[in-house]
Chain A
Amino acid sequence: MAGRFFPAALMARRNLTRTKMRSLLASLGIVIGVVAIASLGMFGVALQYSFTQNLGNVGNQLTVYPNSGENITELTERDIRSIRREASPTATVSPVKTRVEPVSYNREDAVRETIYGVENPAELYEAKEGRVSPFRSGALVGSNVAEEHDLHPGSQITVNGTSVRIRAFFSTNPDNRIIMPATSFSQRGYSEVYVIESTGTRANETAMGIRDALNDREERVFVQELGSLVDTIEEQFQIINTVLAGIASISLLVAGISILNVMLMSTVERREEIGVLRAVGYQKRDVLKVMLMEATLLGFLGGVAGVILSLGAGLAINHYAVGDAMAVFRLPNAWYVGAAFSFGVLTSIVSGLYPAWKAASEEPVDALRG
């Protein structure tokens, strides 16, 4: 059966070259459709990729807050001990205190800022300039704050009337904070606790453990998992991608209609030829096969051209969105390109069905009467 397709392909190919311009225009529709689906898909993938690249390392973090809805304003040492128990031994648990103080930079007027108290900032922050540990006095500021107020390690800021020396910058997000040693805080409770686990899965398990341990009788704490946030955002990206591909496939629908039109014209023009084929012994399914082969060839040509152009578009998209043109050769892109190609060919075949059926079911006697 497979071998019988090749002579049909010969006839189909010759028929398409008979009206070259028309065939080209018909498959151009498929080209555009395939490029639209593939490049919009790859655009979505690139967007998602650059997003997860930026947020990828927060999946293993979680933050525990006191549940202010239950009138719990701070976490106690006991809570911290419970959290440490629930976290795995390798995890970093950093309780953070906060207070709001008037802060003045470079002898300007004081503004009220939140000061974060951390015992061991080296666990959470990486110094960009200066040294983070040991941390017994002075302050650390985020690079954002430093840039805004033109601060350097060694600069002085005034916190609640007292001069404080800047020891280092850090660029870790959030980079707009002022951090001082926890020992400088008079209150005993903590306003939040950071837990950093080795993997996202562990972070998730720890989060559940903390909820079980602390929210037993009352909802004492609220645990925010960044990992689940990332998951949610990725799901959103999937939806956006699907919608984009859906919009792009409208262009394939239009392409399909143009192929339908071309094939119908072709069957009308070749009515007598098809009548002769039937007369000399071509079964209905043989005529169907030749006509469908034409539609398939149109779709295949359009699809191949579309894939080549899409790869070009993908190189450009990835060059600008991810900064690495070669990222186009990642698996999800292959999926989109493959799907676009298949849809292109499928659209052609489906569009060819009706004209092919019409050609095949004409009585040879009627066709040859002219």
Chain B
Amino acid sequence: MTVIDAQGLVKRYRTGGQTLYALAGIDFTLEAGEFVSIMGPSGSGKTTLLNILGLLDTPTEGTVLLEGQDVTGLGDSKRTALRKQTIGFVFQHFYLLPTLTAVENVEVPLLLDSDPKVKKRARTLLERLGLGDRLGHKPDELSGGQKQRVAIARSLINSPKVVLADEPTGNLDSETGRQILDEFQRIADEDDVAIVAVTHDDLVNEYVDRTVHLVDGTIGRERKNGG
């Protein structure tokens, strides 16, 4: 099942008298359970593509279908609601709230809903990610890998269809990076969640189903991995 179908994405910025193309016509589809990495040099449009796929940004041209629904022209409020329902985010700098415990951080996306089941689910997710003994710890009491695992649990709290990760291993040593990538692979396989990871890290490519290379806002070569 196709989760995201993006066609002809163009993102233009006008700075001064110049027009900059962050994306210059990109087609991108994502199937459920797929683990895809997006690679490319700085300024190639990786983050812009990720933001558009994650409904944080809107393309200047082109269409985005999320589970078959056209979300291209939606306003901020509707995009926000859709993000909450179907998308999870993992960031390079983890971006956990320093004042909240691990469990509370995982609850954050649904915290305002006051749903008593959320806390239980947050616990289960953390236990699954091997943090059962760190539930009440604040982020500054956790290692980098543990923080990123809390962030992954947070991205899964809303049972998303897609998890978008921006440099998920960028701040981790390679050993910890492998553990995180193992988790991603497991989530993609077991939960049928599609994962897109923007990265510079070649290590990621050992785990993904395919890699998309971006060069100057266009898709370069695409390489499929074994499966």
| A and B physically associate | yes
Chain A residues within 8 Å of B, Cβ to Cβ: 3-4, 6-8, 10-11, 14-15, 17-18, 272-273, 275-284, 286, 289, 364-365, 368-369
In the complex, whether B95 has a CB less than 8 A from a CB of chain A is yes
Bound: A10/B109 CA distance, A: 14
Extra contacts, 15 of them, besides A7-B114, A280-B83, A281-B158 (Cβ < 8 A), are A7-B112, A14-B97, A14-B99, A276-B91, A276-B95, A279-B83, A280-B154, A280-B155, A281-B81, A281-B85, A282-B84, A365-B51, A365-B57, A368-B95, A369-B47
Chain B residues within 8 Å of A, Cβ to Cβ: 47, 51, 54, 56-57, 76-77, 80-81, 83-85, 88-89, 91, 93, 95, 97-100, 104, 108-109, 111-114, 154-155, 158
- Which A residues touch B109, using CB under 8 A? 280-282
Can you name 11 A-B residue pairings with CB atoms under 8 Å?
A7-B112, A11-B99, A15-B99, A17-B99, A18-B99, A279-B54, A279-B83, A280-B83, A280-B154, A281-B109, A364-B56
Bound: A80/B51 CA distance, A: 98
- Which B residues touch A11, using CB under 8 A? 97, 99-100, 111
Partner of B108, one of A4, A280, A283, A284: A280
Bound: A8/B108 CA distance, A: 10
- Which A residues touch B95, using CB under 8 A? 272-273, 275-276, 368
Is the CB–CB distance between A280 and B99 below 8 Å? Answer: no
Bound: A276/B111 CA distance, A: 14
Bound: A281/B109 CA distance, A: 6
Query: Quick one: given A364-B56, A368-B91, are A283 and B81 in contact (CB under 8 Å)?
Result: yes
Bound: A369/B91 CA distance, A: 11
- Which A residues touch B80, using CB under 8 A? 278, 281-284
Q: Which of B81, B85, B95, B112 has the most CB of A within 10 A?
A: B112
Closest B residue to A14 using CB positions: B99
Q: Is the interface of A mostly helix, strand, loop or mixed?
A: helix
Q: Which 4 A-B pairs have the closest CB atoms?
A: A281-B84, A14-B99, A280-B109, A276-B95
- Which A residues touch B114, using CB under 8 A? 3-4, 6-7
Partner of A283, one of B51, B54, B77, B98: B77
Closest B residue to A286 using CB positions: B112
Closest A residue to B98 using CB positions: A18
- Which B residues touch A283, using CB under 8 A? 77, 80-81
B88: shortest Cβ distance to chain A, in Å?
A: 8
Closest B residue to A16 using CB positions: B99
- Which B residues touch A368, using CB under 8 A? 56, 91, 95
Is the CB–CB distance between B112 and A4 below 8 Å? Answer: yes
Is the CB–CB distance between B56 and A365 below 8 Å? Answer: yes
Bound: A281/B155 CA distance, A: 11
- Which B residues touch A278, using CB under 8 A? 80
- Which A residues touch B54, using CB under 8 A? 279
Bound: A14/B88 CA distance, A: 24
- Which B residues touch A4, using CB under 8 A? 112-114
Bound: A31/B111 CA distance, A: 31
Closest A residue to B151 using CB positions: A276
Closest A residue to B48 using CB positions: A365
Is the CB–CB distance between A279 and B112 below 8 Å? Answer: no
Q: Which of A273, A278, A279, A283 has the most CB of B within 10 A?
A: A279
Bound: A7/B115 CA distance, A: 10
- Which A residues touch B51, using CB under 8 A? 365
- Which A residues touch B98, using CB under 8 A? 18
B63: shortest Cβ distance to chain A, in Å?
A: 19
- Which A residues touch B112, using CB under 8 A? 4, 7-8, 282, 286, 289
Bound: A6/B111 CA distance, A: 10
Is the CB–CB distance between B57 and A280 below 8 Å? Answer: no
Closest A residue to B55 using CB positions: A279
Query: Quick one: given A7-B112, A11-B100, A286-B112, are A280 and B76 in contact (CB under 8 Å)?
Result: no
- Which B residues touch A284, using CB under 8 A? 76-77, 80
Partner of A273, one of B47, B77, B97: B97
Is the CB–CB distance between B56 and A279 below 8 Å? Answer: yes
Bound: A297/B12 CA distance, A: 43
Bound: A364/B58 CA distance, A: 12
Bound: A277/B93 CA distance, A: 14
- Which A residues touch B158, using CB under 8 A? 280-281
Partner of A277, one of B57, B88, B104, B108: B108
Bound: A7/B98 CA distance, A: 16
Closest B residue to A273 using CB positions: B97
B170: shortest Cβ distance to chain A, in Å?
A: 13
- Which A residues touch B83, using CB under 8 A? 279-281
A21: shortest Cβ distance to chain B, in Å?
A: 15
A10: shortest Cβ distance to chain B, in Å?
A: 8
Bound: A286/B85 CA distance, A: 16
Bound: A82/B135 CA distance, A: 93
B148: shortest Cβ distance to chain A, in Å?
A: 14
Q: Which of B81, B111, B158 has the most CB of A within 10 A?
A: B111
